[in-house]
A and B are shown apart, each in its own frame.
Chain A
Amino acid sequence: GEDVEQSLFLSVREGDSSVINCTYTDSSSTYLYWYKQEPGAGLQLLTYIFSNMDMKQDQRLTVLLNKKDKHLSLRIADTQTGDSAIYFCAETRGYSTLTFGKGTMLLVSP
């Protein structure tokens, strides 16, 4: 199966919080990332977390890392319709490369 796994779809109402989950397998990963992809566009880096951290907050975004369970989550507070996109979790492999999950499609309804 995939080395980085994510649920494929999440639907929330505008104003609610969204939580997107990811599990990874490489315990030596140094950085873990969240990327956003809007329709027809490339990937945009949202945030990342270093593996010695448990949590990182950046405005509406909160990243939680559980190294023991190899679980990463992205929480988006006060979700807006403009947040509708595909969100990719990625982990570093070695010094130079990333491995991506299949992506979670977030649909925000008014």
Chain B
Amino acid sequence: NAGVTQTPKFRILKIGQSMTLQCTQDMNHNYMYWYRQDPGMGLKLIYYSVGAGITDKGEVPNGYNVSRSTTEDFPLRLELAAPSQTSVYFCASSYPTSGGIQETQYFGPGTRLLVL
């Protein structure tokens, strides 16, 4: 298993440009997540999905969009990039226990985004 993969690893955007961060997992996990990590900070949840066709906002969703058409893929879209979106973006996935509570999140290696 490759686990959680993210592309690209690094990207520089100009203000106002758009891009899609790709995330794929091959563990058949129902739950997938997007986080951003700013320097010296913990992770902030942007969006998450509990299954194909279902997405929900996290703590910091403004300026982002997501879709979940398949179990494996959970792309994150930036429509009008702003300097405040300069960050490291992590995708994660998990599988709920029989009680419905997600137990462990597996993280991808991250995408480093610089908006100038």
- A28, chain B: closest CB distance, angstroms: 11
- A86, chain B: closest CB distance, angstroms: 9
Beta-carbon contact of A96 and B90 below 8 Å:
no
Proximity string of chain A (34-47) to chain B, C-beta cutoff 8 Å, 1 when within and 0 when not: 01000001111100
Which residues 1-47 of B have a CB within 8 angstroms of A? 4, 31, 33, 40-45
- A65, chain B: closest CB distance, angstroms: 16
Interface size on B, residues (CB 8 A): 27
Contacting residues, chain B, for A45 (C-beta < 8 A) = 104-106
Contacting residues, chain A, for B110 (C-beta < 8 A) = 41-42
Q: Which residue of A lies closest to B31 (CB)?
A: A96
Measured between alpha carbons, how far is A33 from B96 in the docked complex, in Å? 15
A92-B101, A96-B48, A96-B102 are contacts. A43–B90 as well, Cβ < 8 Å? yes
Partner of B43, one of A41, A48, A88: A88
A30-B101, A95-B100, A95-B102 are contacts. A88–B42 as well, Cβ < 8 Å? yes
Which residues 29-79 of B have a CB within 8 angstroms of A? 31, 33, 40-45, 48, 50, 56, 58
Which A residues contact B (CB, under 8 angstroms)? 2, 4, 8, 30-31, 33, 35, 41-45, 48, 88, 92, 95-103
For the complex of A and B, the 10 pairs showing the least CB-CB separation, nearest first, are A100-B42, A42-B107, A43-B107, A100-B43, A102-B42, A42-B109, A42-B110, A101-B42, A95-B101, A30-B101
